[in-house]
Amino acid sequence: MDTVTSLGELERAVMNVLWAADRDMTAREVQDQLADRDLATTTVLTVLGRLERKQLVHRIRDGRAHHYRPVASREDHVAELMSDALDDASDRGAALARFLGSMSEEERSRLRDLLD
């Protein structure tokens, strides 16, 4: 399995916009969703380009414009991060035990249901 690339703060913000969208988005639309950050279009395009190189977004040409969409869902991305973190642990069992210890009873119950 490939190691999932961690995201910088701005990359995470862009991915959150794309994950929340119900359609492909242009860089300008992403920029509009991040208006509180006062980002230049070139900055958004740079971040989208980095995310494309990291294989986290797919770029689709539509006439003169490009549209972007996530390659995988947020949940898929988080699951890969969790798997990579476990792969890095010298004692997987201990890491899992600590993780389970940090979960609420409701989350542990949900996990039991999923395992059954």
Number of structural domains the chain divides into: 2
- Residue in this structure with the two tokens 């990291």, named with its chain if needed: 54
State the DSSP code for 65.
E
Domain residue limits at 82: 74-115
pLDDT of res. 4: 52
Q: CB–CB of 53/42 below 8 Å?
A: no
Q: CB–CB of 11/63 below 8 Å?
A: no
Q: What is the pLDDT of residues 14-62, one digit of tens each?
A: 999 999 999 999 999 999 999 999 999 999 999 999 999 999 999 999 8
Q: Flag whether 4 is in a domain.
A: no
Q: Return the SS3 of 79.
A: helix
Q: What is the pLDDT of residues 90-101, one digit of tens each?
A: 999 999 999 999
Q: What is the CATH number of the domain that holds 27?
A: 1.10.10.10
More confident call, 29 vs 1: 29
Q: Flag whether 20 is in a domain.
A: yes
Are residues 15 and 64 located together in one domain of the fold?
yes
User: Tokens representing 102?
Assistant: 């940090």
Q: Flag whether 52 is in a domain.
A: yes
Closest by CA to 5, choosing from 54, 69, 75, 78, is 54
Q: Flag whether 85 is in a domain.
A: yes
Are residues 59 and 107 located together in one domain of the fold?
no
Rounded to whole angstroms, how far apart are CA atoms 4 and 105?
29
Are residues 81 and 98 located together in one domain of the fold?
yes
Are residues 66 and 78 located together in one domain of the fold?
no
Q: Does residue 2 surpass a pLDDT of 50?
A: no
Q: Does residue 1 surpass a pLDDT of 90?
A: no
Distant-in-sequence contacts of 47-50, Cβ < 8 A, 24+ apart: 47/10, 47/11, 47/14, 48/14, 50/11
